Each structure stands twice: as C-alpha cells, then as structure tokens.
Amino acid sequence: MVLLIAEGLSNPEIARRLHLSTATVKSHSNNLFTKTGIKDRAQAVRYAYGKGLVRLPAG
C-alpha cells in the first residue's frame, strides 16, 4: 500500500485499484502508519524512498 501512496494515489484510487473499500484502505493505512511511526502521507512517501521501495524516474 505504501507504494501506491508514494505514487500519489488517493485512498479512493487505491481502493479501486486493489478492489477494496475506501474504509479498508484507510484502516490499512492507519495500521501501517502506526506500526512504522509515520504521521502522514508525505512521510509515507519519504519512508518508501528511504527503504528503496520506489526510485526516482530516470532522466
């Protein structure tokens, strides 16, 4: 899920892509944030880049 957040997708967009309800996405996001100490979506993006889960596009 952090990868989709890092792509800039909103909760409803993530829900559609994963065939989940928006409430489920919010729940999973909140659990992820709690377990990792992430406070907001911007920190989630930073976390994803810091862990090498996503890379900047070449060029």
Query: Domain ranges in the chain?
Result: 2-50
Q: How far apart are CA 13 and CA 50, in angstroms?
A: 24
Residue 56 has phi, psi (to 5 degrees) of: -70, 145
Distances (CA, A) of 51 to 16, 17, 39, 48: 26, 23, 17, 5
- Kindly indicate whether the domain formed by 2-50 is annotated with CATH number 1.10.10.10: yes
Does the structure show a pLDDT above 80 at 14?
Answer: yes
What mean pLDDT is predicted for residues 7-20?
97
How many other CB atoms sit within 10 Å of the CB of residue 46?
13
Does the structure show a pLDDT above 80 at 46?
Answer: yes
* Whole-prediction pTM: 0.84
Does the structure show a pLDDT above 80 at 57?
Answer: no
